[in-house]
Structure formats: C-alpha cells, structure tokens
Amino acid sequence: MKRTVDQFIQRHRLIQEGNTVLIAVSGGPDSIALLHYLLEKRRVWNLRLVALHGEHGLRGSDSVEDMTFVKAMCVEFGIECVTEKLNVKNYIDEHSCSVQEAARECRYYFFERMIARFKADVLATGHHGDDQIETMVMRQVRGAGSGLGGIPVTRSLGGGKLIRPFLNVSKDDILLYCEENGIPYRTDHSNEEDKYTRNRFRKQVLPFFKEENPNVHQRFQSQSEWLHEDDSYLTGLAEEKLSGVITERTKKSIMISVKAFLDMPIPLQRRAFHLILNYLSIDNIRVQALSIHRKVFIDLLVQANPSGHLDFPGDLFVERSYDVCLFSTERDTKETEGDKVDEQLPVPGMVTFKRGKIKASVQENDRAGSGSLWVFKSDPGHLPLPLTVRTRKNGDRVVPKGMTGTKKLKDLFINKKVPRHLRDSWPVVTDREDRIIWVPGIVHTETGSALPKKDKMLYLECELDDDSFREVT
C-alpha cells in the first residue's frame, strides 16, 4: 500500500518537501492509517504535521471518546494536535439542513481556520477508493451532473489545498495496513446503519463490484480523474464564452443573452449554467443540488413562448423575456422603486434616469424631421409646459404618430420586445397635462408631432449609458 500511495502522491504532486501538512483525523482506520503513513514520511520529506479533530457532539460519549483517543495517538506519535467541539446542532437550527450537511460545513469551516492559523500548504483527508466508488455510483443514480466525476484528488481550500492521498487504495488495503503495523483505531457504528444511503450502497452494491473485479477501485479512480480533467478543460472554455453571453452583472443578479447562450455547444451550456450560479455566490452544495434543474432552464430558453420564469429552490429566480434572461437571488426581478423617475424637464435642461439622460434645448430649425426614435423635435409653442420625464404608470396609453386610435404603452413594449425587467425604468416624456408626447426608442406620438415651422424648434435627445436599452429597439 505504501508504494501505491507514494506513486499516487508523486503523480499528482500532492505534497512537496518542507510542506506544512494538516491531517483530518476522526479516529477511524482511514485517518489513523493516514496519520501513521505521513509520520513515516515526516523526516524523509521534512514535513511539519498537525492533526485536526472536530468533535461533532452527535454520538454522545462515543464522540468524546473519539476525541480522547485521537489526542492520545498524537501524543504517542509525537504530532501536534488541535481539537475543537463543533456546534453542529446550532448550525442545523440556523440553516434548516441535514445532519450530514451541517457536520460537513462545520468541519470544513474549522479546517479553513486552521489552514490560515498554521499557514498550511495542504490538508490531507483519509478518503479512499471505496469512498470514490460509493460517491460516483450514488451521484450517477441521483443524476448529479458535473458531480459524476466523484471525489477530486485535490481542490483549493482556504489559502491552501485539500488533498486525498488514499483515493487509489481500497478500504481492505487500509485495514490490512493497520493490522500489519499494529495500529489501533476507533469504529463508528453509525456506519452500519441502513438509514443512511451511503451505508446501503456500501453494504449492498460495493460487494458486487469487488466480486467482479477486486481492483475495481482503481478503475473508478482512473475514470474519476479523466472526468475531472475533461470537465476542467470544458469549464475553462465555458468561462471564456460567458464573457460574451453575460450582458449585465451585479452581486445579486446576472443577465444573459438567450441567443448567445444557445449558440454555445451543449457541453458548454451545461457548465455555463453552473458558472452563473457560482458567480452569484451560490455555494457548491447548492449548485450540485440545482444541477437537476439545468434541463428545465434550457427548456425555458428554447421554448416558443418568449417569456417565462422559474423559481428554483434556495431563493434563485430566473426570468426570460425575449432575448434576455435574468438570474436573480431576489424574488422581485423587476426594477426597484429607486430605478423609477418623475422629474420636470427644464428647457433648456436635462433629466437623468438609471440608464441615461434626456436633454432639452431650443435650437435652430433644421427642418429635417424626427427620423430617429431617440430624438424628438416639435414646435416650441405647440406643447403645454412644463415637460416631465417619468416612468410608466398603470393604464398609460398613447396615440402613435400617424394613427387616430390609442394604444396601451404595455402593448407597445411587447411589440418592441422590450424585456419585462426594463419596462418599469423606461423613460416617458409627458406634457403639463400628463399626455405622453414621446417614448424614447419606442414611439413618437400624435400629441407631440407638430413639426416646427418657425426658425426655432424644441429639441429633445435621449443619450444612453446602457446599451441594453438601445439593443432591444
């Protein structure tokens, strides 16, 4: 087993000479064997070793005895040891999560703090090949998406790396190692309880694989490494492509172009979905849980109906409107009250709104007409002043230039395919009687359409700071 682990560490460059190595030690055979193995390498590789033990407080006196045992073993081995009582029950109450998830979160928070405290290079855990098989098969059954690669050999953790040197050896190898070296260990009897899914896989599925191939753990480990390598490469490509897909980004929301997203190859679409969740600071556990909804999200983008929304678990909301799709960690994906405007427009003068400004002036009549929907021209004496720049109100109607009947402003937005999330902050210009004379980029109206006949004209222009307005018109 030692030779196998030596080769695995060298191949993946898990530990370098002179490293400070933290070791997660529960007291079970896997972590105690890892502690013993690294103790033998301490002088050879000039390592500083520190054992870490988190007492979860979930198994009564057994948990306390585990902690006492780990301390005693570290004294015997001459290894620094840090123990901490983890408040798992409080975490469950505060976050309404499972016992396993709470224990993991508390444990890894402890590990991250210790990495910082000791300025450690790596933290080693005792995960082995049987754990890898169980994880990969369980995720395959559950449909875990990107998690199908199983347990990674290494990943970043705090300011260091998490490493798993035993992934290429089996549980039987570890038990034999403990027996041959006379190493005592603790047994967690909860690992035998059938109420846990992993235990059922371990007892009912794993023996069949091992009977077919005693070295099946090595086959699974090779496959895991291939999958992680492929996923890393494709995720890098997806990240590059996303720069041209994301049109807006804040801490709580991300907007994408539907067309640009669907133009990506399907393998990149899958990974881009996960990247977007990561960008919104959704933790990896929730990202894995949300991966089962990825197909529903893709269906939203390809459906014939140009609008729709999804409410995902854990306060993630997705809204599609024509060629844009908004991810948000806030339920209300519409513009906030702070995005609205209701301000008089002096002549000459200017009113700013969230995504730009409207300027007003009296200029020499160029007699060219108002060709652009972003420019408004009229006879200075035609409109009752003052003018007002505001955002839309319920029931707003306009008489489009050249027509006699009124149309709902809402219908004009729909016809122009203005995304729903932009409509509440779109500027509307009205006269003193609150009649709409111009909706920049959308419509000129009969109310404000008197062309200037004298030497002077009223000239309004909408200048945008945000291309998302101009792109939809």
Buried b (16+ CB within 10 A) or exposed e, 332-360: ebebeeeeebeeebebeeebebbbbebbb
26 appears as a binding residue in the annotation? yes
Q: How far is CA 42 from CA 29, 64, 69, 71, 473, in A?
A: 20, 28, 22, 19, 68
Nearest of 22, 291, 10 to residue 158 by alpha carbon: 22
Q: Strand pairing partners for 156? A: 161
How many other C-beta atoms are found inside a 10 Å radius of the C-beta of residue 190?
12
Q: Say if residue 29 carries a ligand binding annotation.
A: yes
> Is 222 assigned to a binding site?
no
> Helix or strand or coil: residue 14?
coil
DSSP string covering 135-195 = HHHHHHHHT-GGGGG-S-SEEEETTEEEE-TTTTS-HHHHHHHHHHTT------GGGG-TT
| Among candidate residues 126, 155, 162, 174, the one with its CA nearest the CA of residue 21 | 162
Query: What is the three-class DSSP state of 325?
Result: strand
Which residues on adjacent β-strands are paired with residue 400? 445
* 200 three-class SS: helix
Joined together, the tokens standing for residue 130 give 């049987």
Cβ atoms of residues 338 and 391 within 8 Å: no
Q: Are 133 and 40 in contact (CB under 8 A)?
A: no
Tell me whether residue 31 is annotated as binding: yes
Which residue ranges are tagged as binding site for ATP? 26-31
Annotated binding site: 26-31
